[in-house]
Chain A
Amino acid sequence: MAKKTPLLEVKDLHVKVEGKNILRGIDLTVKAGEVHAVMGPNGSGKSTLAHVLAGREGYEVTKGGVRFAGSDLLAMAPEERAREGLFLAFQYPVEIPGVSGMNFLKSALNEMRKHRRLPELDAMDFLTLAREKMRLLEIDEKLIQRAVNVGFSGGEKKRNEVFQMAMLEPRLAVLDETDSGLDIDALKIVANGVNSMRSPDRAIILITHYQRLLDYVVPDKVHVLAHGRIAKSGGRKLALELEKKGYGAFGQSAASVAA
């Protein structure tokens, strides 16, 4: 029954950044249980889409709208969107000196739980849960003792994003180039993490430049973003096609799609 309402419905979304039109009419419908890949060359508007969905300042929606589980997503503050179950794995996770990962994530999780009218977790329960997820994602326990992302390697930062996603159990996860800059081992770990999150109640949007992540996380749908529009949508094959032909066919420079 719930699947009748799409989890995410982006309609004719136009967005300006510093006066420049970046998104020029995006239409995208994502249902619970689906994994979508949004691909495209640099500058096509991929990250802008991710940031607009998460509610980052500095993006002006000039036309169109977004509904999230039936509600007007754009009317919500960023933290409300997060509490409603929208998660963004950042392309460049930011460092927060002095704040331990444990403290950070425990506060975040408890905000979500408060919002869902669940009792807050105390330190012990939180740690038990965190350990379980860390084992699953092959993450060193020391990671959450350290300050958030401070001194982390690129791979550790990305894994930490996936770990946070696993802890917060969002309804919609948007992964913004989580695969970039990862070596093959790290990529597999991240992919395993994402695959373990697949569930009939959850949707995942993978934003990526390259198709290699899709070897490990097989998407239900693939969209190609070019010039701020979805130029083509298709199944898994579209990604493979892109790998052969590049983005040239979509009028943007033929950046390599294969890693």
Chain B
Amino acid sequence: MAVASDTAKTIESATGGDYKYGFVTDIDMDFAPRGLNEDIVRFISAKKNEPDWLLEWRLKSYRRWLTMTEPRWARVRYAAIDYQAAYYYAAPKSTELLDSLDEVDPELLRTYEKLGIPLEEQKMLAGVAVDAVFDSVSVATTYKEKLAEEGIIFCSFSEAVQTQPELVRKYLGSVVPYSDNFYATLNSAVFSDGSFVYIPRGVRCPMELSTYFRINAENTGQFERTLVIADAGSYVSYLEGCTAPMRDENQLHAAVVELVALDDAQIKYSTVQNWYPGDKDGKGGIFNFVTKRGACRGVNSKISWTQIETGSAITWKYPSCILQGDNSVGEFYSVAVTNNHQQADTGTKMIHIGKNTRSTIITKGISAGKGQNTYRGQVKILPGADGARNYTQCDALLIGDQCGGHTIPYIEVRNPTAHVEHEATTSKISDDQLFYCMQRGLSAEDAISMIVNGFCKQVLMELPMEFAVEAQKLLDISLEGSVG
């Protein structure tokens, strides 16, 4: 209980004290009109009181976006998106000063509770700083003071624009350029909020930094923007978890995450993605079109991505590493689950530029129902990357006979000293396995859960402890009803 009230207090103070850069007044009116044009981009920027250079950057992105077309190479199918029908800016209601937890919108608390995440669960998550993003704007930031003692900056992106303009200006778009791809460019024009992290030189971040993302307003595109900078010799572990309530309409989510690791720095970025996948017949669900990329810019730097993707109707996501610094290391560990009508096309890119750069890719794709699961990955060894090494292992597990698992690796080697290994397997949970487990007293669902968890163990092990437990539960929930 002590921890719970601590958390509550921290949230009170965070929602109270730090909420001065924007929209406290007139909050109910904080919807931009439907649709997208330059005025909307200007509106968003003005709402956030942004400097001119950032507005210009947004406009440049918007103009570029107009010339681009949606990528169609992924193995996913969906009806055309009407970008003019969506809202591009929505701030949450009731973010006024609160004296206690009792004053938090009970609807919000209920949503959290239903999702089995924050306020209650934070009791157990003691020691984890939480920056809850509800809709497009951060409503709570915790443990800030403790982090500040170390010189760590962990705040909402909009706040960083105000308080850390030099850092934002230096690194924004430096890993994912504004012109990168259709969705990233759209994000660059209309991004709403997200997280900003800066770990100073030589500092080891004393706790896992955690952000819970939520999508809660109907017809609202969600455009998160996250930037994590690990200065020389620093270390940070960042957790990102997502859930969303039931929704009938498709919602577009196009986030951009940029990571920068300087000399000897390490970034560990973990995601549990559990957005609404649509109903059993494939109606509704989130479109998750995300661009995540990390630059190992310094020598001996390391970036490690771990993702557990169980939600969303459609996932289009390739967390990647640009291994620029000599001896830098990139890792990608992934579990992607598609059940019912879910479709996922996900994987990574490892671009080896520096000497003796190393990368590891371990992916586990699980398909059930009519789910389609594609691993798509690129390993690229450039001419200067002497002694580069890559190891890739892609495993697919099928449950039932109407789903699909696909592996599409691209390997491009332009240096004769490189070592590249690729292994892939496809297996099916067989009736024999299920019967064997049931003969030992396990229910079919428990048996599947056990087999699936065994299949994913290599990846789950990479997650921080409290996330691993949540991830296991999620795997069970998302495969519910997959036994024929």
B450 touches A107 (CB 8 A): yes
Number of chain B residues close to chain A: CB under 8 A: 23
Q: Mark B443-465, 1 if CB is under 8 A from A, else 0.
A: 11010001101111100000000
Measured CB to CB, the closest approach of chain B to A38, in angstroms, equals 18
Among A96, A100, A107, residue most surrounded by chain B Cβ atoms (within 10 Å): A96
Measured CB to CB, the closest approach of chain A to B185, in angstroms, equals 40
Among A79, A82, A164, residue most surrounded by chain B Cβ atoms (within 10 Å): A79
Q: Which of B431, B433, B446 contacts A107 (CB 8 A)?
A: B446
Q: What is the bound-complex CA distance between A232 and B442, given in angstroms?
A: 36
A54 touches B451 (CB 8 A): no
A82 touches B438 (CB 8 A): yes
Of all chain A residues, the one with the shortest Cβ separation from B436 is A94
Measured CB to CB, the closest approach of chain B to A252, in angstroms, equals 27
Chain B residues contacting A65 (CB-CB under 8 Å) are none
Q: Which of A87, A98, A112 contacts B451 (CB 8 A)?
A: A98
Chain A residues contacting B450 (CB-CB under 8 Å) are 96, 99, 103-104, 107
**Which chain A residues numbered 108 to 123 have a C-beta less than 8 Å away from chain B?**
108, 111-112, 115
B431 touches A57 (CB 8 A): yes
B436 touches A107 (CB 8 A): no
Please tell me if A56 contacts chain B, counting CB pairs below 8 Å: yes
Q: What is the bound-complex CA distance between A103 and B437, given in angstroms?
A: 12
Please tell me if B440 contacts chain A, counting CB pairs below 8 Å: yes
B435 touches A78 (CB 8 A): yes
Of all chain B residues, the one with the shortest Cβ separation from A80 is B441
Chain A residues contacting B39 (CB-CB under 8 Å) are none
Please tell me if B432 contacts chain A, counting CB pairs below 8 Å: yes
Band of interface residues on A: 20 to 34
A94 touches B430 (CB 8 A): yes
Please tell me if A147 contacts chain B, counting CB pairs below 8 Å: yes
Q: Which of B439, B440, B441, B455 contacts A115 (CB 8 A)?
A: B441
B431 touches A82 (CB 8 A): no
**Which chain A residues numbered 64 to 87 have a C-beta less than 8 Å away from chain B?**
77-79, 81-83, 87
A56 touches B451 (CB 8 A): no
A94 touches B433 (CB 8 A): yes
Q: Which of B437, B439, B443 contacts A96 (CB 8 A)?
A: B437
A107 touches B432 (CB 8 A): no
A82 touches B440 (CB 8 A): yes
Q: What is the bound-complex CA distance between A108 and B437, given in angstroms?
A: 8
Chain B residues contacting A55 (CB-CB under 8 Å) are 438-439
B454 touches A83 (CB 8 A): no
Please tell me if B427 contacts chain A, counting CB pairs below 8 Å: yes
Measured CB to CB, the closest approach of chain B to A39, in angstroms, equals 23
B442 touches A111 (CB 8 A): yes
When A96-B451, A99-B454 are in contact, do A104 and B440 touch as well, CB less than 8 Å? yes
Measured CB to CB, the closest approach of chain B to A76, in angstroms, equals 11
Of all chain A residues, the one with the shortest Cβ separation from B364 is A98
When A57-B431, A78-B435, A107-B450 are in contact, do A97 and B440 touch as well, CB less than 8 Å? no
B451 touches A99 (CB 8 A): yes
6 residue pairs bridging A and B, Cβ less than 8 Å apart: A57-B431, A94-B430, A99-B451, A103-B454, A105-B440, A111-B442
Sample of 9 further A-B pairs with CB below 8 A, known A79-B439, A79-B444? A56-B435, A57-B435, A96-B433, A96-B437, A98-B455, A98-B456, A99-B450, A99-B451, A99-B454
